[in-house]
Each structure stands twice: as C-alpha cells, then as structure tokens.
Structure 1
Amino acid sequence: MIGLGTLTITNETVIKQVIDDGLAVGYRHIDTAYFYMNERFVGEKLREIFSRPRGSGPDGIGLQRRDIWVTSKLWCTYHSRAKVAEGLKLTLKRLNIQYLDMYLIHFPFGFEEGGEDIPLTPDGLTRDSNVSVVETWKGMEDVYRAGLVKSIGVSNFNVNQLCRLMRQCQIKPVVNQLEIHPYLAEVELVRFCQRMGIRVEAYSPLAKANQTLLNEPILVKIGQRFNKTPAQVIMRWLIQRNIVVIPGTTKKHRLVENFSLFDFKLTQDDMKQIYSLDRNWRKTDFPPARFNSEYPYNRMGF
C-alpha cells in the first residue's frame, strides 16, 4: 500500500541513499519515470543491490529483482503506437533491468515526437501530437504482450478517457495514478476507478509538503489523538480509501514515519472531517498543455 516516490529527486548521491534507506525501512515498491530524470541513478543503485550477496546491505537481506516492484512511466513524446516500445526500451536501459513490474502512461496528452521532451511554441504552449489515448494504449498492450512489462496502467486520466479506453482496449488498465490529497480528494474519480476494478495510486499525497495543508487544525487535532503527524493522518486517510500512497522524501526519519501507518485507524467521523478539506486544489496541472485535446483537467476531470 506504500511506494517509494522519487519525483523531484535528481541528485545521484541523494537518490541512491534514499533507495538504500527505503529498502532498509521495508519499502519494496520504487516509483520513477522517464521525465523524473533519475532513472539512470535508480538503475545503477538497483544493479548494486542485486549484486549483493544474501545477508549483506543496509537491510541485512540480499534482495533480488523479484523482490522489488519497479514502476516507471511513458513520456508524452512517445505516444504513437510504434514509439511506445522505443520509450520503454530507453527506460529499461537506464534502469538496468529486463522488465518493469508496472508501466504507466504518464499523462493522457501527447507532444510532438522526435525533439525536446517538452516542445514549446513561441507563446509557451506545448507542440502537441494528434495521438489519441486509445492509440497509445494499443502500444502499451504491445509491450505487455512482448513480455517487457508485467502490468500496464495510466496516470492523470479522467473518467472520459478511461471510458474510451475501456470500450476499445483488449487489456484493461490495472492502475490510475493520480494527485490525491485532502485538498484534492477526487471522490468521484476514485469511486469510478474502483468500481471498474482499476487500482488507484496517490502521488503527492501531501500536496508536495504544502505547509498550509500540514498545519490544518483538523489534521493536527486528529494526529494528536493518535500521537501521529498530520502527514501520517493524511496517508492513513488514503489507505482507508483503499488507495496506494506514493510519498516522496529524502529524509530517513520521514521514510520511517511514512511507513508507520498500520498501528492506528481513523474513525468514520475522522474520515468525514478530512473530506471536508477538499477544495479541488491541484498542484500538478501542466498549464502549457491546457489546449491539448487530451488535457484531462477540464473535460470530466472529476
């Protein structure tokens, strides 16, 4: 129910230490992406970990590939069906592994292929491709059938986009990874995904350490009752909604704190109070892509 998020961690020394510390704490799910610019460092660390003899390493366990769940994401410049495999193979090469446990379409919108990662027009908008999410998904099904990934899913997809996929896909998406936190509860979208058998994962569960959120009196008061921090209360709220949490931190004590969520349970009233904080406030909305036909946040983006 808890993954090790690596968004924004681009320093080689820092991310390698975070992975070591996280594995020692008990994390076994590493979440990265082509666009995080850290896949190569993650891969170097994984190669080192897998080469350790049993009984060695900071966790005292010789971990093998099958012991660690690795998720990465297809970037927007690889959305045409033929390009999906190309993007995946770049990721696998950087990660020094033969397969991914989970591969997600990072965003539903695609960009002009063959150039910069975020190709922009003179007025600062993205140069978009006309590739639909359905075509991109066919490419995802291709790499799944080729055995390069164990499971496939999406990220930042709204209900409309999921419905189109479900009508035309041969392999159903396993996951929809979304920004979810008390300021963006995504009640209807989560309910839809769960009704359709799509697992929901929450990135930025603390709204990227938004201090206003972490100082909310409701969260502070609930936390005091359980001797827990507001961050732990938030993640417990997500877990009780049957949502996988993908928090990110570079501090070891936070890694421990984020993993210590199973010795308390929120009441129904606690859950209701936290829901009341919802204000439909989004941290990640990618404004340069706002005129893309697949932009997810203004077309049934609930």
Structure 2
Amino acid sequence: MTTVFTLKSTARLHRGHQIPLLGLGVYQNYDARTSVLQALEAGYRHIDSAQAYRNEEAVGQAVAQSSVKREDIFITSKVKGANQGYQSTLKSVNESLERFGFDYIDLFLIHDPYPGKVKRLETYKALLEAREEGKIRTVGVSNYGIPHLKEILGAGFELPAVNQIQLHPFCQQREIVDYCQKNGIIVQAYSPLIQAQKGMFDHPTITTIATKHGKDNAQVLIRWTLQKGWVTLPKSANPERIVSNAAVYDFELDEKDVADLDSLDRGDEGSVSWHPVNAP
C-alpha cells in the first residue's frame, strides 16, 4: 500500500497543467495575506480562494510580496452564485483578475449548482470561453452531484477538470467520487478537517490512529485524503497549524487505519457544511 507523497506532489489535469495535492483553504480568512505568505514560506504552492470569500485581493497581495514566482503558485477562485450567468460570469472573471492583480487564474470553479440548470450551463460556457482567451487555465466545478456533471455532457461540453466537494471520514460521497474518478475528474476535498466539529474531529477512532503514528488528528485526516487520491484543502489562519498540516509526508496509514476511517461514513448526515450536491 506504499504511497509516496511530498509537499511538491501534484496531479495532472486533463489539459496538462499540474495541481499540487495539498492546498491552503482561505475560507473565512478575510485578511488572508499573512496566512498565504506563511503558507508559501512553509512550502505550499496551492491556494484556494473564491469570489464569495472576499479575499482575492489579499491573496494577490501575498503572491506579489512572496519570493515565490507567480508561475510556481497554483491559484483557484470560484464564481459565486450571484454572478452566475453568461455575461455576469465573464464580467466577474475580469473582476477577479483585477482583484488578484493577475494575468491569469489557474483554476476557476462554479462554486455551487444552486442557481439552476440554465445559469449553470451559461456559466460553464463562459468559463470555457475565458479559458480560450487565456484568462483562466482550467475549468472546474464545486459541490456538483452526478446529475449536474451529466448535464454538462448532455449540453455537449467537455467534463470539468475538477469537482471540489466536502470530503472527510463522516461524509465520503462515494458515488460522486467514483463517478469523477471513472471520468477523469480530479476530486478535491474541502473541509477535510471536519471543521473541527466536536465529537467528530476528536472521534476515538481518529485519535487512536493519531496516537499510533505519533501525529495529531488533523494530520491523520489530511493523510487519509491524500491516500484516497484526492487533492486536499485544509484551511487555517494559525501559523503553527499551517506548518503542521503540511507535516504529513513522514508516515503512512496502513490498511486497517484506512478501513477504520472509511467505516465512519454517515453519508449526507455526516455533512458539517452546506451540501449543495443534491440541488435540483
């Protein structure tokens, strides 16, 4: 079961770009500049932002101030629901580029499927056009269930490169993950640390595995997502946690560890965040 990862490990997107397997999530981090600078110094090369997070400008400032070259950093943003639709998406991509201060954005996602089929498809078409214009490099989605992914195919579009969904031992969304993996869609895990929910983050199964490996619960959860073959996006604004969340490459979960974590799945009832995958 040996799986060798490093902080530099990447996955290949379907148009050839590489996405780092570990990223820093900056949700609810409105002054993200400091955190992003700390993450880049610690070796992270992947930052996950969104229009709705209201910190694209702060992320861009950190990238500009960092000694790491822009081309060596993978930046994600997302079209928020209020901006979905063809013309509004094109406009919002330009606004995101201006806030970041970038010439391009590595990955742009549709943040959620709530606005409905018409706007979803209009938004997707607009993102594909923005990609062809060089404004973004890769198009993906977030919180998409299988019917949402199939409607993209039904409209004659290519499938997205990425689907970012809530993933942790209590909410494994196995059918969506299986569909994505069978169709060449990279799976990204948000809320991999279960948002530190009491009774879940500190569940005895997780704590026992952490003690066994001399690691903390967060490191076990991150390692589990990596061994599942997912890109993982733990978020933190704490400098020590940013560093320790990346210290997951000197141990490996064995088959029993993985099986024990897999057994915690509660399906949709295990969700600790919004759960748009079932939106009509």
Tell me the equivalent position of 1:282.
271
Residue 44 of structure 2 is aligned to residue 27 of structure 1: yes
Query: d(CA) in 2 for partners of 1:130 and 1:101?
Result: 25
Q: Which residue of 1 aligns with 2:8?
A: none
> Is contact 2:40-2:68 (8 Å) kept?
no
- Match of 2:197, as an amino acid? N
Residues 158-197 of structure 1 aligned to structure 2 (within 5 Å): 158-197=145-184
Q: Deviations over 1:34-81 (max 9, x none)?
A: 0001112112222223xxxxxxxxxxxx32210111100011122211
Task: Look at both structures and tell me which one has the larger radius of gyration over its CA atoms.
Answer: 1
**Aligned counterpart in structure 1 of residue 208 of structure 2, from 198, 202, 221:** 221
Alignment of 1:5 onto 2:10? no
Q: Secondary structure at the match of 2:34?
A: helix
| Residue equivalent to 2:108 | 103
On the 8 A contact 1:175/1:201 being kept in 2, the answer is yes
Deviation at 1:179, TM superposition (A): 0.7
CA-based RMSD of the aligned residues comes to 1.6
CA contact (8 A) 1:43 1:96 kept: yes
* Paired residue type of 1:43: G
- Structure 1 unaligned regions, length at least 5: 50-61, 111-128, 287-294
Where 2:278 maps in the other structure, the secondary structure is coil
| Correspondence for 1:126 | none
Please give the TM-score of this superposition, normalised by the length of structure 2.
0.88
* Structure number with higher strand proportion: 2
Aligned pair count reads 258
The alignment partner of 1:30 has SS state of strand
TM-score of the two chains, using structure 1 as the length reference: 0.81
**Per-residue deviation, residues 157-197 of structure 1 (Å, max 9, x unmatched):** 00011111123343331100011111101112111101100
Query: Residue 94 in 1 paired to residue 99 in 2?
Result: yes
Specify the alignment match of 1:48 in structure 2: 65
List structure 1 runs of 4+ shifted beyond 3 angstroms.
none
The residue type paired with residue 220 of structure 1 is T
Aligned to 2:10: none
| CA distance in structure 1 between the aligned counterparts of 2:79 and 2:156, rounded to whole angstroms | 18
Give the stretch that moved more between structures: 167-176 or 184-193.
167-176
Provide the secondary structure at the position in 2 that maps to 1:150: strand
Deviations 1:242-291 (A, max 9, x none): 011101111121111111112111122211111111112212226xxxxx
Q: 1:4 to 1:131 in 2, by over 3 A?
A: same
